[in-house]
Structure 1
Amino acid sequence: MVAGWFTGEGDSFRLLGTRCRACRSVFFPREDAFCRNPACQSDEFDEVPLSRRGRVWSYTDSRYQPPSPYVTDPELPWEPYALIAVELESERIVVLGQAVPGVTVADLTVGMEVEVVPGVLNEDTETVWTTWHWRPTGVAQ
């Protein structure tokens, strides 16, 4: 789990961003040093939970195994996965992430509603590394 990027479990799972106190711009991943808005000079931010839902802005599939530091299980064959760019409902920012396992590009359309859910990046006998996935609404987890 990347500290400060998300919080909660199940239906309370949320991505965490930051909002500039001066211009109100919202950022994900979070920003803690300087406002990314070129018209703003602020360095003061508030942590904010982001919308759980959004609409597919774009998508593609990853058909090659990425190089290190991406973590894969050497015991399992590589499996392609869908990547989704989602425009968040309230913030109107685009956040990239993987689709839940089992959802392919054939299941996606631009404009489709999706929601953020917890996912597993990797796990071993001692640790489960949590990440986020996008799931079309109405699909059981």
Structure 2
Amino acid sequence: MVAGWFTHDSGEEDFRLLGTRCTACSSVFFPREDAFCRNPACSGGELAEVPLSKRGRVWSYTDGRYRPPAPYVSDPGTEWEPYTLVAVELAAERMVVLGQAVPEVSVADLAVGMEVEVVPGVLDEGAGTDTVLTTWHWRPVAVSS
């Protein structure tokens, strides 16, 4: 887990990505920024932690057919399992956040504009240890009829 990027002591209902908001210009950043405002038109430097929207809309998506770099764990001695990457637009924050889809979702299950929500995910379960590395995943929101 990357410290400070998401809540981690709560259940799925309360799980949120964490960003920072500049108190001078209201720009929101993810990954978080704690040193200075990344908005080139702002000279502000005071940033406050803010939870990002739990839901957003698919902006783009693709399948990952290569072994990812660290910190993702990928044993070259095992068969490779493709994964689905999703770029999600968070309207309130005016940003796009990249992440993996939940494991059971493929590109065939997604469409641009579809509503998705952020949920906790597992990056790696340390083989032979009790260590579980956590991350976030995007999951399509069930459409009620």
Common fold, TM-score beyond 0.5?
yes
Please name the residue that 1:94 is paired with: 96
Which of the numbers 119, 123, 136 marks the counterpart of 2:140? 136
Match among 123, 127, 131 for residue 127 of structure 1? 131
Q: Give me the whole-angstrom Cα distance separating, in 1, the residues matched to 2:69 and 2:26.
A: 37
Tell me how far 1:66 sits from its aligned partner. Answer: 2.5
Equivalent residue for 2:42? 40
The amino acid of 1:64's aligned partner reads Y
1:73 to partner: Cα distance: 4.2
Q: Pairwise CA RMSD of aligned residues? A: 1.5
TM-score by length of 2: 0.90
Q: CA deviation at 1:89?
A: 3.7
Q: Distance in 1 between matches of 2:31 and 2:11?
A: 19
**Pair 1:11–1:69, CA change in 2 (3 A):** closer
Aligned residue among 104, 111, 114 for 2:113: 111
Over the matched positions of the two proteins, sequence identity in percent amounts to 76
Superposed CA deviations along residues 46-75 of structure 1, whole A, max 9, x for unmatched, are 000000000000111101112445312456
Q: Which moved more, 1:40-49 or 1:71-80?
A: 71-80
1:9 offset after TM fit, Å?
A: 2.4
Letter in structure 2 aligned against 1:122: D
- Number of residues paired by the alignment? 139
Name the amino acid aligned to 1:6.
F
Judged with a 3 Å threshold, the aligned counterparts in structure 2 of structure 1 residues 46 and 3 are, in CA distance, closer, same or farther, namely same
Q: How does 1:56-75 map to 2 (within 5 A)?
A: 56-73=58-75
Q: Answer yes or no: is the 8 Å Cα contact 2:72–2:123 preserved in 1.
A: no
TM-score (norm 1): 0.92
Aligned to 1:2: 2
**Residue of structure 2 in register with 1:14 after alignment:** 16
In structure 2, stretches of 5+ residues that fail to align are none
1:102 positional shift: 1.3
